[in-house]
A and B are shown apart, each in its own frame.
Chain A
Amino acid sequence: MKTADAWRLSAIPYSEMAFRSILQNSSNMWWGSFGRGSSEASGREDLVKRALRIARFDKLVVTVFVMVAAAAPFLPQVLGASYGISASVTLSLAVSFALIVLYGVQTLSSFVTSGPSPVLSTLPLMREDVSLVNLLSFVRTSDYLVVGSVACQIFFVSLVTGSALSGLFMLLAGAVNSVMGVGAALWLSSVFYRNLLGSKQGKRGGVLRLGLLLAWGVVVLGIGILFAGAGYLIPLVQNVLASPDALTGSILSLVYPFSLGIGVGSTAQGFALTSVERLALGGTVVYLLIAVAVSRWGMSSVASFSEGVSGATGGARNRDTSVPLHEPVTAYALKDLRAASSNLTSAFLFTLPAFETLVILLIRAFLPTLGASTILVAMTLGGMVSLVLPLVLVTTEGTGFDFAKTMPLRMKTIVFSKALISTAVFLPAAAVVYIEGLLKPLASPFSIVIPLASILAVAAASMLEIRLFLGFAPRGRATFALQEFARMAAGAGVVLLPATIYVVIYILTFNHALAAGTMAAAASAELLAIAGFVHRS
């Protein structure tokens, strides 16, 4: 089969994969017959079209972000910096590699667990053709990202160096980087979804899963820090590469993606190459060969994925069928935690509020005292981030939500259980503030009330958001995203109101005690009102 034909054919399994992925995460989110004003999705055709639209929109947004990230490291040279481009190319490659991996891992779950299209294997096609179509449908998950980031890199390298050879070399480096990124995403998806989730669950599996999630969180944060610190990193790395200390330069020239970065940089310097640059070019050849091997491995892996994951029921020695019992709210919360932790994206979100608050406090670490404004900003930001969780908790229900709908459950049980998780996730953020308060003097002793009031506000906002998500089906032509945004905005309003009241009262009276007291009263009133509303559901 010709590659062009295979590419055209691959659009079908790709659409199916995108549809399955969206369907798994966003269907049946409302509580159906329990919710007032509920209705079912308006036909399968609409559902398919909507799923594909969401997938395309999602990919476009991520592509724009990746292009910006790939272009940003070239900003110093565009603005007239006189140093070489090796460090900029390296950073651009590192960031685009990491983003391709992140996006790939998050979108490949259905691909890895059940293959893009088992139907293809039943058609009279050569095994190699099926593999090629599957591989290309997999490539389609990252095509915009890869083309966008590589095009950006070629454009800026050509612009800065004015050399066609450098642009050509950048094309090669970008292609190698993309193959490596897609390959890494495939490998990570395979490890997480096939070996970890596909194996029997026990305490060891739980610890392994937690370890992997935390490692994943560190990687995500690392990328953020790398990106945020680009302005300092680029000249620093460029100096190291240009320094007479050949040893550091030689070592770096063999490390990925420095080899490629230095390689591209060397083409702009003419033909008089330094020893470091010669080493980097040698390293580039090695990584090119590795990329070829990775693409071959990817093709064979994708072919094997189309066979799906078999029922891993090998543990015939298990004789224990005991089933523990809990209160309904606890049981629902436990179920949510288990379901959410099986997905890298949703699991990492649990740690976000704490990280967020920590980052804010670290930024303010040089301040001698902990002011009310610092605590207010930290808590409000942490609270706003934690409001993503209700949406995550509702979407992780997926198609399994129909199982819950057959249970004798009241909506309030579900709302309280999910709000319990959202609020519990916010608690570390408040704890960080209290610990900070122990370590340095508070500008006002009453500002210690702020975290407590924020916890109440987050609990109230979570309940409201979840109630809105479950109680009303999406209607009309507005997109899911827009309606989800409106519901989250309602939650954000609940978090912002007590903080706003604090600010207004303080500006009017300059009295921290009164401001903190009013804030706590407002948050309590919100919690009582919304809990009452949910209780009547």
Chain B
Amino acid sequence: MVDQLIEARGLTKTYGSFGALDGLSLAVMPGEIYGLLGPNGAGKTTTLRITAGLIEPTTGSVAVSGFDATKDPVQAKAQIGYVAEIPILYESLTPRELLEFEASVRGLAKDPMNRRARQLAEAFEVVSAFDTPIATLSMGTKQKVAIIAALLHQPPVLLLDEPLNSLDARSSRILKELLSLHVQRGGAVLFSTHVMEIAQRLCSRIGIIFRGKIVAEGDLDQLRARAGEKDATLEEVFMKLTNEATEVESTVRALRESFFDDEDR
């Protein structure tokens, strides 16, 4: 049994002259929902894609359940269920064909897999779309299919990139309950979001990511202490720790003074 289900060490990732990650390190323990909280372009998706084995880091390493994602990708990927921000699926297949492909490749046992597929399909209300090409489904239904595919093999590690974005209230609630059950059974979740309320309510630990680095991490009280704001909301803590509070204030002031009085409108 490993202590950390996810361990990222000194991750950097550059695209040409642009640095998406700058020495990011984090660890997620069993029974933990770790929220990666950061503004757009901070490096959340890059971190998740590296952990899922979709891209390689420029430097640094990630281990999933003790398996190095770059050196031992097959073992590492067997431990992971991944949901991308925009669902990545074979769109010409139907949900049934996609799950058939996934379950076969992962070598799942037929009866338990079919039982889970039925339970998940009913819970997320995609049974009626089971034989419809994914390309023609709504974004929300595609997201549900991606979630079912990520949960089907009951992986110890779930990597979820803004998974609630396209979901309706019912499915959001079900997913949150499933995540709670998952961590109660010793699993781990690495969860990216830029919505403060979701991070505050769902995550046992939060890492604030800014310009490719974790600038602070801990539960809400630890983050408040770090920011020196005793009763602050997560949003206020976030603004303080990312040094954006002053900039946002001046931007809002400028907008208030000119935006609605613009005579050129």
Q: Which A residues have a C-beta under 8 Å from some C-beta of B?
A: 32-34, 38, 40, 42-43, 113, 197-202, 309-328, 330-332, 334-335, 338-339, 342-343, 398-400, 402-410, 413
Contact = CB atoms under 8 A, between A and B. Distances in A.
For A199, A316, A323, the residue with the greatest tally of chain B CB atoms inside 10 Å of its CB is A323
A320 B131 CA distance: 10
Given A312-B136, A406-B82, A323 B103 contact: yes
Contact of A321 (B80, B98, B127, B136): B127
Contact of B97 (A32, A321, A338): A338
Contacts of B149: 403
B100 interface: yes
Given A311-B138, A323-B117, A200 B56 contact: no
B105 A338 contact: no
Interface in B57-102: 69-70, 73-75, 77-78, 80, 82, 84, 88-94, 96-102
A313 B132 contact: yes
Contact of A325 (B74, B91, B108, B127): B108
A405 B50 CA distance: 11
Interface string B134-166: 011110010000000100000000000000000
A38 B56 contact: yes
Contacts of A318: 127-128, 130-131
A406 B54 contact: yes
Given A32-B56, A327-B104, A406-B88, 7 more contacts: A33-B69, A40-B55, A113-B135, A313-B129, A323-B117, A342-B133, A405-B54
Contacts of A342: 92, 133
Contacts of B208: none
A400 B91 contact: yes
B171 interface: no
Interchain residue pairs A-B with the least CB separation, the first 7 = A331-B104, A400-B90, A342-B92, A408-B78, A311-B138, A402-B88, A408-B77
Given A34-B73, A338-B97, A406-B80, A201 B133 contact: yes
A334 B90 CA distance: 13
B110 A325 contact: yes
B114 A322 contact: yes
A309 B96 CA distance: 20
Given A201-B94, A318-B131, A406 B52 contact: yes
Contacts of A328: 104-105, 107
A403 B90 contact: yes
A33 B56 CA distance: 6
B53 interface: yes
B230 interface: no
A199 B131 CA distance: 9
A321 B93 contact: no
Nearest to B75: A408
B77 A407 contact: yes
A313 B129 CA distance: 5
B113 interface: yes
A43 B137 contact: no
B100 A326 contact: yes
Nearest to A200: B131
A338 B96 CA distance: 12
Nearest to A35: B56
Contacts of B100: 323-326, 331, 334
Given A33-B56, A315-B131, A338 B99 contact: no
A324 to B, nearest CB: 6
B14 to A, nearest CB: 11
For A34, A334, A408, the residue with the greatest tally of chain B CB atoms inside 10 Å of its CB is A408
A318 B74 CA distance: 35
Contacts of A42: 15-16
Given A328-B104, A332-B101, A403 B74 contact: no
Contacts of A317: 128
Nearest to B98: A403
A201 B93 CA distance: 9
A406 B136 contact: no
Given A43-B15, A323-B113, A311 B93 contact: no
A42 B91 CA distance: 25
Contacts of A403: 88-90, 98, 149
Contacts of A320: 130
Given A33-B55, A406-B53, A325 B113 contact: yes
Contacts of B70: 33
A290 to B, nearest CB: 31
Contact of B74 (A113, A310, A408): A408
A199 B113 CA distance: 27
A178 B53 CA distance: 49
Interface in B15-43: 15-16, 18
B130 A311 contact: no
A32 B90 contact: no
B162 to A, nearest CB: 16
Nearest to A34: B73
B92 A201 contact: no
A408 B74 CA distance: 4
B104 A326 contact: yes
Contact of B54 (A309, A313, A324, A402): A402
A311 B137 contact: yes
A320 B118 CA distance: 8
B176 interface: no
Contact of A202 (B52, B129, B131): B131
Nearest to B110: A325
B234 interface: no
B104 A339 contact: no
A310 B141 CA distance: 12
A73 to B, nearest CB: 38
A82 to B, nearest CB: 54
27 contacts: A32-B54, A33-B54, A33-B56, A43-B18, A197-B92, A201-B131, A311-B129, A313-B132, A315-B131, A318-B130, A318-B131, A321-B114, A321-B118, A321-B130, A323-B117, A326-B100, A334-B101, A338-B93, A342-B92, A400-B91, A400-B92, A405-B53, A406-B53, A406-B77, A406-B82, A408-B77, A408-B78
A60 to B, nearest CB: 29
Contacts of A410: 74
B113 to A, nearest CB: 7
A399 B137 CA distance: 17
A48 to B, nearest CB: 15
A521 B22 CA distance: 55
A321 B111 CA distance: 12
A408 B94 contact: no
A197 B121 CA distance: 22
B104 A197 contact: no
A292 B137 CA distance: 35
Contacts of A322: 114, 117
Nearest to B107: A328
Contacts of B133: 197-198, 201, 342
A417 to B, nearest CB: 10
B106 interface: yes
A335 B130 contact: no
A190 to B, nearest CB: 14
